[in-house]
Amino acid sequence: MKMGSGVLLSILLVCCARQTAKTEPSTPIAFISPSPAVTLDPKVALRESMIQVLGTDHEGAPRLTKISYSDPEAGDITITWAINDDGSQYSRKTGAQIDAVNILKVLEKNKTRFIYVILVGTFSTQDGYGGTTETQVMSLGFNKSKLDRINWEEFQPSDVYDLADIADLADEWK
């Protein structure tokens, strides 16, 4: 049986065409596109950032006590945190100043919208019977317009009381 060259060429073309068809996927490949980033509620994001920057006390409890917001139109925020008991009065005072600056930096970094912020620092005190209570030892108030002008990379935490519009400090914290 002799086949003509035209017939052989036709058979080759048919075979090759079928083989190509077999190697191509029969269904389209689904491309996985990245999902949009989940955006946290601004209040939740601020709380998480504050918890991260302040850390925990010696018992493992978060030092951020409370964040409260006034009427949204007024734009006031009050942030309350527990000051660490780091031993000496000087180190506690220095730690409180660093905490206050770190809180203000978080407000800036998170682009938190506010007009005025009040930072309330509490400290655990022990009474004569061995009971402990958290006592407010400082309250610092800041206008956002003033905070917006601060270069936080160069700012010294020891200057935070002078930066405050209002600084109400217990005697041992001055």
Q: What is the dihedral of CA 93, 63, 51, 151, to 10 degrees?
A: -10
The pLDDT of residue 4 is above 90: no
Mean pLDDT, residues 10-38 taken together: 50
Residue 67: name the closest of 15, 127, 112 by CA. 112
Please check whether residue 54 is in contact with residue 63, taking contact to mean a CB–CB distance below 8 angstroms: yes
Contact between 133 and 124 under an 8 Å Cβ cutoff? The reply is yes
- CB-CB contact of 97 with 158 (8 Å): yes
Q: Which residue has the tokens 């405050």?
A: 164
- pLDDT of residue 9 exceeding 80, the answer is no
Q: 49-103 pLDDT, tens per residue?
A: 999 999 998 888 899 999 999 876 568 999 999 999 877 888 899 999 999 999 9
At residue 32, the pLDDT reads 55
- The secondary structure of residue 102, as a DSSP letter, is H
Domain boundaries of the chain, sorted by first residue: 42-173
